[in-house]
Amino acid sequence: MPHFLAKDLFLQTPFSEDGYEFLYQARSLRKPNESLICISYGKHIFFLREVERKKDILIKAEKNTKPNPTGILKGALRVLAKRACVISHNLNEDSSKQTNQSDFLLKPSQIMSMELNDFCIEIGFGSGRHLLKMAQENPDQKYIGVEIHTPSIEQILRQVQLLDLKNIFVVCMDARILLEILPSNRCQAIYIHFPIPWNKKPHRRVIVPALMNEAMRVLKKDSMLHFRTDDEVYFKDVFESILSEKNVRIEVAKNLSNTIVSKYEARWQRQQKNIFDLKVFCLKEDKEQKIEYDFNFDFFDIKESICESQKIVRQDYFLHICDVFKTQDKVILSVSFGNFNQPVNKMVIFDKKNQEAFYFGEKPLATCANVMAHQELLKLLAEDK
């Protein structure tokens, strides 16, 4: 992650340089040695975090707001570095991936706004061999690739550009959350090939009952979820859980040759490992499911007493106020909340001067866990008032 270390930093906001506007600095009420620096660059608004330590000052990205591509972040750090006695840094020339943003790497909100019909999903596409091959052979079919491994995402986006493909869209998020926000009865197929088995920590598996329920809702009638694995324990556990599903048809195979062989499958074949296939066909249609929620605040002023540690854990969601920052006319909450599998990390700005309160950047996705957590936050802030 881009950053620099300095002996001291001469910073007085607001000021502008090289297209960047350094708007204000907010000091943490819990950790007085830390602060946020708010920056605007074109359509991007983000924070840097300043950490004053015993022997130096660390300036780095605030991960909750990190802009994409990374080159924008590095440019802001370079501007600040001119006002500091720098000890060390990693702000050398940007690589192409740090300055170019692919049109096919989408935010979850962009996925939600797409007109999706008859699309396919691959969850955990790894090297992307299977996803790329399908997209090449079916240019009129839309494919959504879901992955949380950044190098895999960068690799497939390079291939999408080289092959001039227009029908692959990539999203970096937990698949269980993505399925929750997708429309019902529109998906042609879901592929989950060789996911990490997590036999010692089954709760970390991608295939859990909640995912299966959402997958069956998203799939069109008679369409399938295809699970492929070399791990017999994982296969048996998933098979057992599928038996509790209603209105499905199951096909099972062992050591069946696949038309598209992934990098991992080729490795298992060389090692003569067994490979198991499980195809689950949806036999019903579901009602359309879409949660409408605005995530608004009906007040713009809160007390500083909220800086005391606040953490609420419920069965299906949680809320944690991680930190509180303050300027002359703003209070900023750093919050983590929502689903345990993929927490939302957001900044909430309470601006007394402009009489407004809002989530910094995009609003949270309208999932059940996020809605309940937001309502918990409203209740907590109301009690504090």
Helix, strand, coil share of the chain (percent; to 5): 30, 35, 40
Question: How far is 317 from 180, CA to CA, in rounded Å?
Answer: 15
- Strands 219-229 and 187-193, by their bridges, are parallel
Asked whether the bond before 2 is cis by omega within 30 degrees of 0, the reply is: no
Look at residue 275 and give its three-state secondary structure.
coil
Contacts of 140 (CB under 8 A, 6+ apart): 167
| pLDDT attached to residue 99 | 46
Which residues, other chains included, contact 326 with Cβ-Cβ below 8 Å and sequence gap of 6+?
26, 27, 29, 304, 332
Q: What is the pTM of this model?
A: 0.81
Tokens 């007109």 sit at which residue?
115
The pLDDT value recorded for residue 345 is: 92
**Which two three-digit tokens encode residue 3?**
């950053």
- Which residues 6+ apart lie within 8 Å of 33 measured at CB? 51, 52, 53
pLDDT tens digits for the chain (385 residues)? 889 999 999 999 999 999 999 999 999 999 999 999 999 999 899 999 999 999 999 999 998 898 877 889 999 999 999 999 999 998 887 555 544 567 888 888 888 878 788 899 999 998 899 999 999 999 999 999 999 888 888 899 999 999 999 999 999 888 888 998 898 999 999 999 999 999 999 888 999 888 999 999 999 999 999 999 999 999 999 999 998 888 899 999 998 877 777 777 777 778 888 999 999 999 998 887 778 899 999 888 887 667 666 889 999 899 999 999 999 999 999 999 998 877 889 999 999 999 999 999 889 988 999 999 999 999 888 875 5
User: According to the model, what pLDDT value does residue 218 have?
Assistant: 94
Question: Contact 325/26 with Cβ under 8 angstroms?
Answer: yes
Q: What is the pLDDT of residue 142?
A: 94
Burial pattern 174-195, b for ≥16 Cβ within 10 A else e, equals bbbbbbbbbbbbbbbbbbbbbb
Q: What is the DSSP string of 90-156?
A: ---PPPHHHH---TTEE-HHHHHHS---SEEEEES-TT-HHHHHHHHH-TTS-EEEE---HHHHHHH
